[in-house]
């Protein structure tokens, strides 16, 4: 057994098969993938890694499994899913996920299943000699009596099984699905979000990530095959929901970070690199490949390394969107971002590579976005299960709060900022 000293959770014991998996090359790669991608360009302390986060989720998943009384088999599967849930994140984490999915047809969760079960390569060519004879992680799990497919099922489906909280509207309080183990990884109160909120707040210095984990776990139980919080844990659940909403606004949707992310995404797309094994690269691997590719991709990567970030040329905030603007912006949401970049570039007389657009989902534009994981199940004193919104005005307010703040960001290098801003107004008619 090893004891890892973690700045968020303190001493984390790791033993047996978990220690073996933690020390494998697939997990060690995550030491070199930043948890917040380019967030460090705004928050200098945000240099923590996916490895730290994965270890934290493993730890909290084990504590939650104990809190609700899972047996050894279910507990081992949940803890392993916590450790492996981000094993295929690409360099700079979520920044390049859409590019990776476009090339491989799989997001990082689907790739984790393929990696664990041996359906895709688990190492780059340079490691072939060093790791000759090392099989997929699934072989290690099977040897220890842990189902690889069972672990991957816990990882690969971020949405919980339907038929649970949506039945509240019909007055029911029985959950028809056996889903409590899955909820430890993907649920309204799960190990993943508890760790990343606390960890990201710690490293960014943003004071919004305080969560009363002890109270939440002490009030958890399984009822009708789902995890619920007893009424005494409502305040702690509200605290988690507030932390999540404020962290999304302050950190995850920070305007400058999103501009930098768009720069990196365009640089990678421009580079012509083979991205089919990007899930095996580290941040350093990507930087070296972009610098070697030359051209505009290398220049952009060099700019990002020196924090020479494009400037915001035009911003539309949620409170400024009327019905006319909402209809106009909705035309470009989703797959229309590239089209808008081309139209603005043509109107400004600049290269489309020098125009970046970030646009929120249509649901946010129309002011009906609901930030995820707000349907916490609460068991009242009579044992009836209801949504937390039945008990908490805070929870009801958070469901309608815009976590972005902005609706549209248009950016460009400083030299073309004014021209791009004017062009964006003309194209959008705003």
- Encode pLDDT of 4-35 as tens digits: 999 999 999 999 999 999 999 999 999 999 99
- Encode pLDDT of 329-368 as tens digits: 999 988 899 999 999 999 999 999 999 999 988 777 766 5
- What's the mean pLDDT when you consider all of the chain? 91
Phi and psi at residue 43, to the nearest 5°: -110, 100
Domain assignment present for residue 182? The answer is yes
Is 345 found in the same domain as 220? no
Domain assignment present for residue 289? The answer is no
| Confidence check: pLDDT of 53 > 80 | yes
Is 360 found in the same domain as 238? no
Q: Give me the pLDDT at residue 318, please.
A: 85
Domain assignment present for residue 266? The answer is no
Higher pLDDT, 71 or 401: 71
| Confidence check: pLDDT of 162 > 50 | no
Q: Give me the pLDDT at residue 125, please.
A: 83
- Encode pLDDT of 271-315 as tens digits: 999 999 999 999 999 999 999 999 999 999 999 999 999 999 999
Domain assignment present for residue 272? The answer is no
CA-wise closest residue to 394 among 195, 246, 192, 174: 246
- Encode pLDDT of 303-331 as tens digits: 999 999 999 999 999 888 888 888 899 99
Is 356 found in the same domain as 379? no
Q: Give me the pLDDT at residue 100, please.
A: 96
Sign of dihedral through CA atoms 221, 223, 228, 234? Answer: negative
Confidence label for 115 from pLDDT (cuts 50, 70 and 90): very high
- Encode pLDDT of 118-135 as tens digits: 999 999 888 888 888 899
Domain assignment present for residue 180? The answer is yes
CATH number for 92? 1.10.3210.10
Q: Give me the pLDDT at residue 348, please.
A: 98
Spatial distance between the Cα atoms of 180 and 190, rounded to a whole number of angstroms:
10
Q: Which two tokens stand for residue 232?
A: 């005494």
Q: Which two tokens stand for residue 140?
A: 């290690």
Domain assignment present for residue 197? The answer is yes
Q: DSSP letters of 100-154?
A: HHHHHS--HHHHHHHHHTTSS-SS-GGGTTTTTT---HHHHHHHTT--HHHHHHH
Is 358 found in the same domain as 384? no
Is 375 found in the same domain as 330? no
Provide the domain limits for residue 113.
2-159+168-254+368-400
- Strands (E) across 188-320 are located at 220-223, 226-230, 311-317
Domain assignment present for residue 242? The answer is yes
Domain assignment present for residue 126? The answer is yes
Confidence label for 421 from pLDDT (cuts 50, 70 and 90): very high
Q: Give me the pLDDT at residue 168, please.
A: 41
Is 410 found in the same domain as 396? no
Spatial distance between the Cα atoms of 343 and 36, rounded to a whole number of angstroms:
31
Q: Give me the pLDDT at residue 211, please.
A: 93
Spatial distance between the Cα atoms of 66 and 60, rounded to a whole number of angstroms:
10
Is 241 found in the same domain as 100? yes
Give the gyration radius of the chain's Cα atoms: 23
Is 61 found in the same domain as 198? yes
Is 65 found in the same domain as 117? yes
Is 324 found in the same domain as 239? no
Is 217 found in the same domain as 149? yes
| Confidence check: pLDDT of 164 > 50 | no
The residue-averaged pLDDT of 150-178 equals: 58
Query: Considering the chain, what percentage of its residues have pLDDT values greater than 90?
Result: 78
Query: Considering the chain, what percentage of its residues have pLDDT values greater than 70?
Result: 93
Output b/e per residue, 296-317; b: 16+ Cβ within 10 A. Answer: ebbebbebbeeeebbbbbbbbe
User: What's the number of domains the chain is made of?
Assistant: 2
Is 423 found in the same domain as 392? no
Q: Give me the pLDDT at residue 362, please.
A: 79
Q: Give me the pLDDT at residue 227, please.
A: 93
């Amino acid at each position: 057994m090893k004891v890892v000293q973690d700045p968020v959770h303190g001493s984390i014991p790791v033993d047996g098969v978990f220690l073996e998996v933690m020390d494998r090359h697939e997990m060690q790669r995550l030491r070199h993938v930043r948890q917040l991608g380019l967030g460090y360009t705004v928050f200098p302390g945000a240099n923590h890694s996916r490895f730290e986060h994965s270890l934290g989720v493993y730890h909290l998943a084990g504590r939650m499994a104990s809190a609700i009384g899972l047996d050894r088999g279910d507990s081992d599967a949940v803890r392993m899913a916590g450790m492996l849930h981000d094993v295929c994140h690409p360099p700079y984490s979520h920044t390049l996920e859409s590019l990776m999915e476009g090339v491989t047809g799989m997001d990082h969760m689907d790739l984790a299943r393929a990696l664990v079960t041996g359906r895709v390569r688990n190492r780059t060519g340079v490691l072939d000699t060093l790791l000759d004879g090392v099989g997929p992680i699934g072989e290690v799990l099977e040897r220890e009596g842990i189902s690889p497919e069972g672990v991957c099922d816990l990882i690969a489906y971020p949405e919980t099984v339907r038929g649970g909280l949506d039945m509240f509207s019909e007055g029911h309080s029985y959950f028809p699905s056996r889903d409590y183990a899955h909820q430890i990884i993907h649920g309204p109160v799960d190990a993943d979000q508890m760790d990343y909120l606390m960890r990201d707040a710690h490293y960014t210095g943003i004071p919004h990530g305080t969560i009363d984990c002890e109270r939440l776990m002490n009030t958890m139980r399984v009822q009708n095959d789902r995890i619920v919080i007893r009424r005494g844990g409502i305040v702690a659940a509200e605290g988690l929901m507030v932390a999540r909403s404020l962290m999304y606004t302050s950190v995850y949707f920070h305007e400058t970070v999103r501009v930098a992310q768009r720069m990196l995404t365009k640089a990678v797309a421009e580079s012509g690199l083979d991205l089919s094994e990007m899930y095996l690269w580290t941040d350093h691997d990507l930087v070296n490949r972009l610098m070697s590719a030359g051209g505009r991709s290398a220049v952009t990567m060099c700019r990002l390394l020196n924090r020479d970030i494009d400037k915001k040329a035009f911003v539309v905030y949620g409170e400024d969107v009327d019905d006319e603007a909402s209809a106009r912006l909705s035309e470009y949401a989703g797959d229309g971002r590239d089209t808008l970049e081309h139209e603005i570039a043509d109107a400004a007389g600049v290269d489309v590579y020098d125009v970046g657009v970030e646009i929120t989902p249509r649901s946010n534009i129309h002011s009906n976005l609901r930030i995820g994981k707000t349907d916490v199940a609460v068991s009242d004193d009579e044992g009836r299960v209801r949504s937390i919104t039945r008990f908490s005005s805070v929870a009801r307010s958070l469901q309608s709060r815009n976590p972005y703040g902005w609706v549209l960001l248009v950016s460009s290098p400083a030299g073309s900022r004014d021209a791009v801003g004017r062009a964006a107004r003309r194209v959008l008619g705003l």
